[in-house]
């Protein structure tokens, strides 16, 4: 453990004091003539050094010792010091202040970390609550806190008052309606012969489940609208209904595409211009399939790309863990669960020729 500054100062001061006491004892044992001669030599050496050094460097322990000696030496003998009398008095006042200074805290005690965390949590989860409403909620939870205390915590954390936090942003809207939102987008893939193909996909915002709609080299408006019809018919087989399809303002999404969802009672949401963050879930999935699959292999044809993206979507939906889902997959496949202390045996399944591996417990 490293000693603090106060400990080092005390040790240095005791060392200097011990040296000076020993020198005083030796000086008392000498003859008067020898002492006077030595004082003359030291005074001359001090005068020589003062001509060479404009401002001597004095440590804290030196200041403390000189200040203490100044209270013993008569005032008319202070010319022996190499500093001014005002400096000696200032050092002594500082020494006295250090002696009678306590590490006591003044004012109100600091706020408990648990209280701060709870106030920030309540303010984040309830944008319409003001500091008085939060203080009342804390009282119901058994934690006494004045409204002014809650206000100070929110201000220090940079959280605006309730009227400025009530407006629902795009991120809050997505979280509130994620169970009924379906994002869609295109991404492109260049084949080995430099032919560009377009992949249309849909992704459910709450479950992160991906639906590959189709692959085309020329995605016309009629083709895109037909893929939307195929998706709605496939989703009719389940109980999930999506009220808010989200897509950008690309010309590949014509009015006929939106009409397919409007006929199902949905309200199509177009993202702002040049705002990919408004469709962040779809953009992240494009980055995922590129990093884990498409950037690591060459695509030969449209049929080859359809096979690859279908296989990856099946891996993404049924096996790949997701942080947003608590490290679960969107549609996990049934697998064995063996309880025991010994680690079970595992089996590896290769996807896309070994590009991706899936591990399951051996039966």
Q: Note the pLDDT tens digit of each residue in 136-169.
A: 888 888 788 888 888 888 888 888 776 656 555 6
DSSP of 198-243: EEEEEEETTT--EEEEEEESS--HHHHHHHHHHHHHHHHTSS---S
Give the model's pLDDT for residue 328: 85
Domain boundaries, the chain: 5-99, 113-167, 174-325
Picking from 100-104, 110-114, 321-325, which range would have the lowest pLDDT averaged per residue? 100-104
- Whether the full predicted model's pTM is greater than 0.75, yes or no, is no
pLDDT of 267 > 80? The answer is: yes
Of the candidates 302, 306, 309, 308, the one whose C-alpha atom is nearest the C-alpha of residue 217 is 302
131 — pLDDT class (breaks 50, 70, 90): confident
The CATH class that applies to domain 174-325 reads alpha beta
> Which SS3 state, helix, strand or coil, does residue 197 take?
strand
> Which SS3 state, helix, strand or coil, does residue 164 take?
helix
Are 263 and 225 within 8 A, CB to CB? no
pLDDT winner (highest mean) among 16-30, 143-157, 278-292: 278-292
Q: How far apart are CA 72 and CA 17, in angstroms?
A: 14
pLDDT of 285 > 60? The answer is: yes
């Amino acid at each position: 453990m490293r000693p603090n500054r106060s400990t080092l100062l005390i040790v240095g001061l005791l060392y200097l004091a011990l040296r000076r006491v020993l020198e005083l004892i030796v000086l008392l044992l000498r003859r008067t003539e020898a002492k006077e001669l030595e004082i003359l030599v030291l005074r001359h050496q001090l005068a020589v050094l003062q001509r060479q050094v404009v401002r001597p460097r004095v440590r804290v322990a030196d200041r403390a010792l000189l200040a203490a000696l100044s209270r013993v030496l008569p005032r008319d003998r202070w010319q022996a010091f190499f500093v001014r009398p005002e400096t000696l008095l200032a050092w002594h006042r500082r020494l006295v202040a250090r002696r009678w200074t306590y590490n006591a805290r003044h004012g109100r005690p600091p706020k408990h970390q648990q209280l701060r965390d709870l106030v920030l949590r309540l303010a984040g989860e309830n944008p319409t609550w003001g500091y008085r409403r939060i203080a009342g909620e804390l009282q119901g939870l058994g934690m006494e806190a004045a409204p002014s205390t809650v206000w100070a915590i929110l201000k220090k954390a940079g959280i605006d008052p309730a009227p400025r936090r009530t407006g629902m942003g795009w991120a809050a809207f997505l979280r509130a309606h994620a169970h009924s939102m379906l994002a869609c987008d295109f991404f492109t893939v260049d084949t080995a012969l430099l032919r560009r193909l377009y992949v249309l996909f849909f992704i459910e915002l709450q479950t992160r489940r991906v639906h590959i709609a189709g692959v085309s080299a020329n995605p016309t408006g009629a083709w895109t609208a037909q893929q939307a019809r195929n998706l709605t018919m496939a989703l009719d087989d389940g109980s999930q209904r999506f009220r808010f399809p989200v897509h950008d303002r690309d010309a590949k999404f014509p009015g006929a595409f939106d009409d397919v969802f409007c006929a199902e009672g949905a309200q199509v949401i177009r993202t702002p211009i040049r705002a990919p963050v408004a469709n962040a879930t779809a953009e992240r999935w494009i980055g995922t399939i590129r990093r884990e699959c498409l950037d690591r292999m060459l695509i030969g044809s449209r049929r080859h790309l359809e096979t690859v993206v279908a296989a990856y979507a099946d891996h993404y939906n049924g096996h790949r863990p997701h942080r947003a889902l608590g490290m679960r997959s969107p549609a996990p496949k049934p697998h064995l669960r063996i309880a025991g202390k010994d680690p079970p045996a595992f089996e590896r399944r290769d996807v896309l020729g070994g590009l991706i591996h899936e591990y399951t417990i051996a039966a």
